[in-house]
Amino acid sequence: MKSVVLGLSIAVLATACATTTSPTGRSQRVGAVSQEQLNLMGAQAFAQAKAKTPQSSNPTQTAYVRCVVSAITRQLPSAWQTNWETALFADKSPNAFALPGGKVGVNTGIFTVAKNQDQLAAVIAHEIGHVVSRHHDERVTRQMGAQAGLGILGAIVGSAYGQGAANTTSQLGGMAAQGIFLLPNNRTQETEADVVGQQLMANAGFDPQQAVNLWENMISASGGSGSPQFLSTHPDPRARISELRNRAGALMPAYQQARASGRTPNCG
């Protein structure tokens, strides 16, 4: 019986993987797990982050971050219009992340480099850019193809048929805990998140040129007392600055149109 189930699972997995086109027109391999399962992994990773790090007790800063997240997520395609949850963590390292399932985590340390709402929008839109470009999906698909045992695959896919749901939850949680979601993105994904994020911020009425200032602040901060954590997962800031500057020029019409249409976020 078990081998029959496993055989079925592998067949399902093989057909579930798909090649799709990313927002910037790149071919990408995704679909080793369903969007629903990715969302579950996102929720688990987010719950772990909340269990590990206390959230800020500053209501003004919390509202500020939520306001920026909400202005950006309103510009997403309808498929991504979930109820985005935001946490502001009391953590001095300048870092932020976004996860499938509509989760955004920002450390209070980000305010040392994101010095106005447009710069904060640049960070958050970049992180959300990773989610809507399905980079987590890509990473999980690659990871499972590379190393996952048949038992894990069987357990995960088995749950699609209502078997071992609890087991699956722990497996997915394990993948989240192993940091698959939090591993550094590759350069292609980084560039894509920059492109998608900067477009998003312009559409939301945030000045896309401030993405350049943000990265300049990151570099300045890294020259001081140790390199920001954000830079360890987002390398090569100087190379991306000139790309961001070039794209900002091309995005000014979109930004101006957003402002003229009343998208004038005033988050603080």
Region binding Zn ion by CB under 5 A among candidate stretches 108-116, 135-143, 185-193, 251-259: 185-193
- Structure tokens given for 136: 């987590």
| Continuous segment of H or E residues that includes residue 99 | strand 96-99
Q: Is 120 in the site for Zn ion (CB under 5 A)?
A: no
Q: Which is nearer to Zn ion, 38 or 193 (CB)?
A: 193
Q: Which is nearer to Zn ion, 193 or 212 (CB)?
A: 193
Between 89 and 258, CB nearer to Zn ion: 89
Which x/- pattern, by CB under 5 A, does the window 224-263 give for Zn ion?
A: ----------x-----------------------------
User: Taking the complex as a whole, how short is the minimal distance between the CB of residue 127 and Zn ion, in angstroms?
Assistant: 7
C-beta of residue 112 within 8 angstroms of C-beta of residue 93: no
Distance (Å) of CA 216 to CA 78, 130, 245, 252: 33, 21, 11, 20
- Of the candidates 37, 20, 233, the one whose C-alpha atom is nearest the C-alpha of residue 138 is 20
Interaction between residue 43 and Zn ion (CB under 5 A): no
Tell me the closest approach of the beta carbon of residue 194 to Zn ion, in angstroms.
8
To Zn ion, the closest distance from the beta carbon of 170 in angstroms equals 28
User: Does residue 193 touch Zn ion according to CB under 5 A?
Assistant: yes
Span of 12-20, 163-171, 193-201, 254-262 interacting with Zn ion by CB under 5 A: 193-201
258 within 8 A of 202, measured Cβ to Cβ: yes
> How many C-beta atoms surround the C-beta of residue 190 within 10 A?
21
DSSP track, 148-187:
--HHHHHHHHHGGGTS-HHHHHHHHHHHHHTTTTTSPPPH
CB of 190 to Zn ion, least distance (A): 5
**Shortest distance, CB of residue 130 to Zn ion, whole angstroms?**
6
Give the nearest residue (CB) to Zn ion.
Answer: 193
Pairing mode of beta strands 18-21, 27-30: antiparallel
Give the binding site for Zn ion (CB under 5 A).
Answer: 193, 234
